[in-house]
């Protein structure tokens, strides 16, 4: 169905047009300029799909893409250069190099929760690395999908960067084609489908998934600051963020004070009713709305709990008295509901985290270096924020990605370039030396061979 597009891109890639660093920088500049020119339409599309305020839409979507572009423009000339590495003595007088090369034609499948950022940030890495790309925006954010398609089609030929819009059937058809890399952001369940499809062609994949990202608040935490940072991270985009704190494990001695601090922060941010706050987003569609409302019965509502189906509105909500076996503690919530559970010891908190699949993020609020070190050593997560939430993924210097069921592979900054590159190993030798020892018949004793190779392989 999309074989023609893929073939066109293969031919264009084979022509070598995408390889020069100057061409990559030119494409990045064009992408940056087109975003600047279409910024108003992009922000309007984000509001129509998710009711994101202009401030939230720009800071969490557009600004992050622009930072990626600018960082790549500054760094790509250096990133693309071959790197010389050490050479074993046995290859003297040879030289060893690592040559980064583009993988070819990439497929980028994006989700609906940050539909602009999570489509174009990977694209920046693909362009910087010298690839062609096919983009599939989410059909659940139709206005952003349309605006992004218009932006790309107005500035790039389909043989270089193509946008394919549509629903599940379109994604399935694309996955039938042979790509050189597939980059998918979305749920773990769909990630398994993508990986299975990629296996038919042995196509490498990057999976940016999700999971239940825990937040641990210890008894020495500054509650006023911690509560603000947790409320901000949790209820940004109405909780529809893959790295949002999914549940809180709070030390029992500060539970009451912590909950009160959370409530005060929520009132301060969103006023008496978040439904009338211009900075509070909406649930993407009715299907997700119904799923989230069902979670409200899995515990006792401490604060919030109101909802309006006609407006796809669910209030920022705190739950306690939650059972570990309930759906809200088994599924990734991906909405504005925050369960709060008590723990007595840091070992108990670690055990609870370890009992679940490896999450995309972990948040720890404490100034105790011993507890920080213990948590970092004994838990495995995609990324960690200490005394903050979400901020570890904002920037171009830390790779962002998951581990285990939360995904694998990473991007942002140079990691995005590496994601869409193959590091080709190159050994250069001349004809000056050619020892007979390497060729049969072998007449050297094993005892002497051990000593010789120990020396030569250094």
Catalytic residues, by residue number, are 208, 242
CB 380 within 8 A of CB 358: yes
Cis (ω within 30 of 0) for the bond into 441?
yes
Tell me the DSSP string of 15-54: TTTT-SHHHHHHHHHHHHHHHHHTHHHHHHHHHHHH---H
CB-CB contact of 266 with 231 (8 Å): yes
Other C-beta atoms within 10 Å of 215: how many? 25
Other CB atoms within a 10 A radius of the CB of residue 197 amount to 19
For residue 195, the surrounding DSSP H or E stretch is: helix 188-199
Q: Are strands 421-428 and 95-102 parallel, antiparallel or unpaired?
A: antiparallel
- CA-CA distance, 73 to 257, in Å (whole number)? 47
Q: Which residues contact 234 (CB under 8 A, 6 or more apart)?
A: 244, 245, 316, 336, 338, 389
Judged on CB neighbours under 10 Å (0-12, 13-18, 19+), 430 is exposed
- Round to whole Å and give the CA distance between 383 and 397: 13
Q: Is the dihedral of CA 231, 47, 157, 199 positive or negative?
A: positive
> Residue 376 in contact with residue 383, Cβ under 8 Å?
no
Tokens at 401, concatenated: 């990605």
Q: Please answer whether residues 50 and 60 qualify as being in contact, where contact means their C-beta atoms are separated by less than 8 angstroms.
A: no
Q: CA 305 to CA 294: how far, in whole Å?
A: 11
CA–CA gap between residue 381 and residue 134 (Å, rounded): 30
Whether omega before 350 lies within 30 degrees of 0, making that bond cis, reads no
Number of Cβ within a 10 Å radius of residue 347: 11
Helices (H), 51-187: 54-57, 63-79, 117-128, 142-153, 168-174
> E strands along 265-336, which residues?
300-303, 307-308, 313-314, 317-320
d(CA 283, CA 307): 11
């Amino acid at each position: 169905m999309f074989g023609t597009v893929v073939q066109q891109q293969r031919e264009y890639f084979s022509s070598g047009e995408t390889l020069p660093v100057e061409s990559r920088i030119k494409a990045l500049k064009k992408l940056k300029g087109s975003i600047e020119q279409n910024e108003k339409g992009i922000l309007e599309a984000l509001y129509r799909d998710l009711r994101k305020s202009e401030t939230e839409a720009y800071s969490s979507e557009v600004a992050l893409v622009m930072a990626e572009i600018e960082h790549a423009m500054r760094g790509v000339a250096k990133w693309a250069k071959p790197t010389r590495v050490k050479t074993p003595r046995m290859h003297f007088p040879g030289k060893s190099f690592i040559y980064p090369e583009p993988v070819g034609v990439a497929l980028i499948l994006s989700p609906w929760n940050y539909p602009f950022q999570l489509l174009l940030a990977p694209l920046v890495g693909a362009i910087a690395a010298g690839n062609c790309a096919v983009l599939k925006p989410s059909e659940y954010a139709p206005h952003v999908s349309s605006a992004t398609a218009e932006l790309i089609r107005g500035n790039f030929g389909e043989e270089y960067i193509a946008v394919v819009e549509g629903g599940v059937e379109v994604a399935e058809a694309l996955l039938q084609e042979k790509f050189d890399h597939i980059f998918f952001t979305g749920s773990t369940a769909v990630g398994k489908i993508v990986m299975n499809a990629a296996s038919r062609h042995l196509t490498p994949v990057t999976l940016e998934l999700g999971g239940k990202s825990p937040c641990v608040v210890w008894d020495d935490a500054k509650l006023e600051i911690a509560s603000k940072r947790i409320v901000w991270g949790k209820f940004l985009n109405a909780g529809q963020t893959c790295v949002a704190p999914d549940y809180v494990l709070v030390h029992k001695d500060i539970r009451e004070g912590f909950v009160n601090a959370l409530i005060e922060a929520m009132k301060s941010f969103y006023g008496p009713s978040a439904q009338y706050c211009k900075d509070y987003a909406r649930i993407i569609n009715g299907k997700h709305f119904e799923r989230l409302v069902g979670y409200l019965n899995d515990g006792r509502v401490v604060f919030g709990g109101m909802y309006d189906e006609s407006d796809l509105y669910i209030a920022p909500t705190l739950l306690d008295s939650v059972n570990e076996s309930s759906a809200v503690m088994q599924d990734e919530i991906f909405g504005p509901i925050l369960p709060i559970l008590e723990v007595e010891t840091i070992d108990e908190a670690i055990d609870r985290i370890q009992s679940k699949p490896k999450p995309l993020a972990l948040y720890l609020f404490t100034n105790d270096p011993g507890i920080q070190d213990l948590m970092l050593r004994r838990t495995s997560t995609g990324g960690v924020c200490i005394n903050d939430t979400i901020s570890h993924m904002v920037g171009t210097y830390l790779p962002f990605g998951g581990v285990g069921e939360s995904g694998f592979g990473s991007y942002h900054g140079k990691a995005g370039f590496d994601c869409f590159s193959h590091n080709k190993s190159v050994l250069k030798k001349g004809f000056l030396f050619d020892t007979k020892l390497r060729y049969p018949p072998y007449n050297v004793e094993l005892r002497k061979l051990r000593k010789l190779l120990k020396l030569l392989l250094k």
